[in-house]
């Protein structure tokens, strides 16, 4: 498939959850996969840029050869409703015109044949009567004065001369509209000796009379007819004709066959003229209907296209755009309604922007204004805290609590100021080449005291090789510190694993804990401000509830992804992915979002299946998935239904995983 236009897609394991299965049912890596998805994952139905299983090179080459010329036409057909309507109108009109043309031509042909047949029968009957009269006249001339018959037979003229005269006289009356053939019924020797060889008018041959008709003409007085072909002696052409024949007796009393051949030359010309006229009229009608359909559809489609264009501009922030409304019809009402909607949206958005600006200003002003009294309170609290040994136990404990809450208050003010800078768009990135191993070691060293109190160990893996990227060391350290501290706090005293990895265009750090994990339905809230997974939990570290929100903004500022996966009771994993070079778009992450030791992956391995192969076979390519905006997650799974995720980052968010619940910290 073409590499051009490939949508961002995870290369490693954008974790996906399979369909829900009853408890205890073994997982069949192939049996539960629908045939369509297996074909898709096998590469037979993949769109450009998507990857699948191995495909024979000849099949891939043939598919590419077929797709290349068809893709532009298919794309134009799918995107242009005016073209579809006009093409459909043309095809239907062409079908109707063809049907009507066939009916009309059939009726005209039948009418011409019937008229020709009746006229031919009338002319042939008259000719047969004339021939019989000439034979009778020849008999009378063949008698002497006494009434006895002469020695030559019943007539004095030989039959050969008489047949020549008969054929010539009969054919001369038609003026070329028909031909005459006289055939003897005797043997060849008799015909030769008696001078009764076949006689024909014009250039036609005796073979023009069908053999079947000659065999049927055996009884005098009966007329037979059959369609045939006129064969010419000195030409290769042949003409369709109606052949009418009967059995008569010549002037000598010998039987012979007389045939009239009526060619359809004039009828064929008339039919050709009708066909040409109908074809010309049909083409004109089809083209005219196509033009009418084009004009009519354009009148309807143009306002729709205008509405689509203006809606795109509205979505881009050009709230002053409006549709031009003319008339009072349905399209005009649509334009008026659209303009009212745009006006209402503009008013509401401006109100919300004003409220948001006032809120940001309020938070910023309050945060700054609180610093001065807070500094004074801090100085007084430090004095009291240093002299706490001289106080009674209750007062000394109060001094310690006062210092702790002041620290928490200062942290909250700092977070609020940072959030206000992000909201105002004033956050600046100071990117420089850094080794994430150094940042991770500083974060781990700072979190060791908390881990010791919790009874957890912080394990670092993947630090054998440099993991270098252009990033803001202060912001990356803040993100990782938040993730590690959250993992220790929610880890239930179990180990916390920090994993580093790098690929050609990206670096990643994943923090894995084995604590409470995520419950279904928490995915959409994990990065919300002031949200906690368990509000009733006693937080010994005194978090503000803004850590993950700030971490998300820091990742987005780098053009990276901050993604979360978790399962209830099975822990969670947060993954930070950054581009190696600042400003580059991410395509994938070098670390799978769903860890290898998740319940789903363990079940697949126990069933003898490769989790990566099953994931590729059950998840559609990124181009085929419904697009989710950055920062949105899939629907939550039922309890125990498996892991999930939530994705936050830049617009290049294609490294998504499957639907499921997510856990926030």
Q: Is the pLDDT of residue 113 over 60?
A: yes
The model carries a pTM of: 0.48
What Rg value do the Cα atoms of the chain yield, rounded?
A: 49
Q: How many CA atoms lie within 13 A of 250 on its CB side?
A: 28
The whole-angstrom separation of Cα 137 and Cα 45 is 90
Query: What per-residue confidence (pLDDT) applies to 612?
Result: 64
* Region of poorest pLDDT, from 26-40, 128-142, 339-353, 436-450: 26-40
Q: Is the pLDDT of residue 646 over 60?
A: no
Q: Give yes or no for a contact between 463 and 498, defined as CB atoms under 8 angstroms apart.
A: no
* Region of poorest pLDDT, from 21-25, 177-181, 617-621, 623-627: 623-627
Instruction: Say which residue, 534 or 222, is predicted with more confidence.
Output: 222
Digit-coded pLDDT (tens) for 430-448: 889 999 999 999 999 999 9
CATH code assigned at 455: 3.30.565.10
Domain membership of residue 409 as a residue range = 330-419
Q: Is the pLDDT of residue 571 over 80?
A: yes
How many residues can be counted in the chain?
Answer: 665
| Mean pLDDT score, 78-93 | 88
Do residues 364 and 415 both lie within one domain? Answer: yes
199 bridge partner residues:
182
Where in 458-570 does DSSP place strands (E)?
Answer: 458-461, 468-471, 496-502, 506-513, 561-566
Do residues 463 and 601 both lie within one domain? Answer: yes
Confidence band of 155 (pLDDT split at 50, 70, 90)? low
| Mean pLDDT score, 540-566 | 80
Query: What per-residue confidence (pLDDT) applies to 100?
Result: 93
Pairing of strands 468-471, 458-461: unpaired
Do residues 463 and 530 both lie within one domain? Answer: yes
Domain membership flag for residue 448: yes
Which of the listed ranges 49-58, 388-397, 424-433 does the model predict with the highest average pLDDT? 388-397
- Mean residue pLDDT across the chain: 76
Q: Is the pLDDT of residue 168 over 60?
A: yes
Q: Is the pLDDT of residue 623 over 70?
A: no
Residues 6+ apart with CB under 8 A from 634: 523, 628, 644, 645, 658, 659, 660
The whole-angstrom separation of Cα 229 and Cα 237 is 10
CATH code assigned at 402: 1.10.287.130
Confidence band of 191 (pLDDT split at 50, 70, 90)? very low
- Of 419, 441, 470, the residue at which a domain comes to its end is 419
* Region of poorest pLDDT, from 62-76, 238-252, 294-308: 62-76
* Region of poorest pLDDT, from 51-65, 83-97, 596-610, 645-659: 645-659
Domain membership flag for residue 278: no
> Which of helix, strand or coil describes residue 518?
coil
Q: Identify the helix (H) or strand (E) that includes residue 304.
A: helix 265-315
The whole-angstrom separation of Cα 651 and Cα 665 is 23
226 bridge partner residues:
243
Do residues 385 and 447 both lie within one domain? Answer: no
Do residues 501 and 548 both lie within one domain? Answer: yes
For the chain, the domain total comes to 2
Q: Is the pLDDT of residue 602 over 70?
A: yes
Q: Is the pLDDT of residue 162 over 50?
A: yes
Do residues 535 and 392 both lie within one domain? Answer: no
Pairing of strands 199-200, 179-184: antiparallel
Which of the listed ranges 132-141, 351-360, 555-564, 594-603 does the model predict with the highest average pLDDT? 555-564
Query: What per-residue confidence (pLDDT) applies to 611?
Result: 62
Confidence band of 145 (pLDDT split at 50, 70, 90)? very low
| Mean pLDDT score, 181-196 | 58
Do residues 351 and 482 both lie within one domain? Answer: no
Closest CA to 253 of 208, 199, 196: 196
Do residues 408 and 438 both lie within one domain? Answer: no
Instruction: Say which residue, 206 or 1, is predicted with more confidence.
Output: 206
Query: What per-residue confidence (pLDDT) applies to 91?
Result: 92
The whole-angstrom separation of Cα 579 and Cα 141 is 122
Query: What per-residue confidence (pLDDT) applies to 288?
Result: 92
Do residues 372 and 458 both lie within one domain? Answer: no
Q: Is the pLDDT of residue 643 over 60?
A: no
Confidence band of 244 (pLDDT split at 50, 70, 90)? very high
- Of 399, 419, 439, the residue at which a domain comes to its end is 419
Domain membership flag for residue 360: yes
Query: What per-residue confidence (pLDDT) applies to 416?
Result: 74
Confidence band of 549 (pLDDT split at 50, 70, 90)? confident
Q: How many CA atoms lie within 13 A of 487 on its CB side?
A: 33
Do residues 447 and 389 both lie within one domain? Answer: no
Query: What per-residue confidence (pLDDT) applies to 533?
Result: 61
| Mean pLDDT score, 374-391 | 86
Confidence band of 227 (pLDDT split at 50, 70, 90)? very high
Do residues 580 and 517 both lie within one domain? Answer: yes
Domain membership flag for residue 103: no
Query: What per-residue confidence (pLDDT) applies to 578?
Result: 93
Q: Is the pLDDT of residue 609 over 50?
A: yes
Confidence band of 569 (pLDDT split at 50, 70, 90)? confident
Query: What per-residue confidence (pLDDT) applies to 428?
Result: 78
The whole-angstrom separation of Cα 662 and Cα 635 is 10
């Amino acid at each position: 498939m073409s590499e051009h236009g490939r949508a961002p897609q995870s290369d490693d394991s954008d974790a996906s959850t399979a369909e829900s299965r009853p408890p205890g049912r073994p997982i069949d890596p192939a049996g539960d996969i629908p045939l369509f998805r297996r074909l898709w994952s096998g590469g037979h139905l993949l769109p450009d840029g998507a990857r699948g299983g191995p495909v024979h090179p000849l099949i891939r080459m043939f598919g590419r050869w077929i797709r290349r010329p068809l893709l532009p036409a298919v794309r134009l057909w799918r995107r242009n409703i005016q073209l579809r309507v006009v093409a459909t109108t043309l095809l239907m009109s062409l079908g109707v015109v063809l049907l009507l043309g066939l009916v009309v031509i059939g009726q005209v042909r039948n009418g011409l044949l019937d008229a020709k047949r009746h006229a031919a029968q009338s002319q042939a009957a008259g000719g047969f009567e004339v021939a019989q009269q000439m034979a009778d006249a020849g008999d009378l001339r063949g008698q002497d004065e006494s009434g006895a018959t002469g020695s030559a037979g019943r007539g004095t003229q030989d039959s050969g001369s008489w047949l020549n005269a008969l054929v010539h006289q009969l054919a001369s009356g038609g003026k070329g509209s028909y031909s005459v053939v006289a055939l003897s019924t005797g043997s060849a020797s008799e015909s030769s000796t008696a001078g009764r060889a076949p006689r024909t008018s014009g250039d036609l041959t005796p073979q023009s009379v069908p053999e079947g008709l000659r065999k049927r003409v055996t009884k005098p007085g009966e007329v037979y007819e059959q369609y045939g072909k006129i064969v010419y002696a000195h030409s290769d052409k042949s003409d369709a004709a109606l052949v009418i024949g009967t059995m008569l007796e010549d002037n000598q009393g010998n039987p012979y066959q007389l045939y009239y051949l009526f060619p359809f030359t004039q009828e064929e010309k008339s039919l050709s003229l009708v066909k040409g006229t109908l074809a010309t009229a049909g083409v004109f009608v089809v083209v005219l209907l196509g033009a009418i359909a084009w004009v009519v559809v354009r009148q309807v489609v143009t306002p729709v296209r205008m509405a689509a264009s203006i809606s795109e501009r509205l979505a881009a922030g050009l709230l002053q755009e409006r549709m031009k409304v003319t008339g009072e019809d349905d399209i005009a009402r649509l334009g008026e309604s659209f303009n009212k909607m745009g006006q209402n949206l503009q008013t509401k958005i401006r109100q919300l922007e004003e409220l948001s600006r006032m809120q940001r200003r309020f938070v910023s002003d309050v945060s700054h204004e609180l610093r001065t009294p807070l500094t004074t309170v801090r100085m007084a609290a430090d004095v009291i805290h240093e002299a706490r040994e001289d106080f009674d136990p209750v007062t000394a404990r109060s001094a310690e609590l006062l210092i702790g809450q002041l620290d928490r208050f200062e942290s909250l003010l700092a977070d609020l100021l940072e959030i206000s800078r992000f909201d105002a768009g004033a956050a600046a990135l100071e990117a420089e080449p850094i080794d994430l191993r150094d940042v991770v070691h500083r974060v781990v060293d700072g979190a060791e005291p908390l881990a010791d109190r919790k009874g957890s160990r912080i394990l670092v893996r993947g630090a054998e090789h440099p993991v270098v990227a252009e990033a803001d060391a202060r912001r990356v350290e803040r993100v990782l510190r938040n993730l590690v501290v959250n993992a220790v706090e929610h880890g239930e005293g179990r180990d916390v694993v920090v994993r580093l990895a790098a690929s050609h265009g990206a670096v990643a750090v994943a923090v894995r804990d084995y604590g409470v994990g995520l419950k279904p339905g928490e995915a959409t809230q994990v990065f919300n401000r002031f949200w906690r997974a368990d509000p009733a939990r006693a937080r010994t570290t005194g978090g503000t509830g803004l850590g993950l929100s700030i971490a998300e903004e820091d990742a987005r500022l780098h053009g990276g992804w901050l993604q979360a996966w978790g399962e209830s009771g099975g822990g969670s994993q947060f993954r930070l992915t950054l581009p190696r070079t600042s400003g580059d778009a991410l395509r994938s992450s070098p670390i799978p979002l769903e860890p290898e030791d998740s319940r789903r992956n363990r079940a697949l391995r126990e069933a003898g299946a490769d989790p990566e192969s099953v994931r590729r076979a059950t998840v559609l390519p990124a181009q085929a998935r419904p697009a989710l905006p950055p920062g949105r997650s899939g629907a939550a799974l039922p309890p125990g239904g498996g892991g999930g995720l939530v994705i936050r980052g830049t617009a290049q968010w294609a490294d998504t995983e499957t639907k499921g619940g997510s856990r926030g910290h």
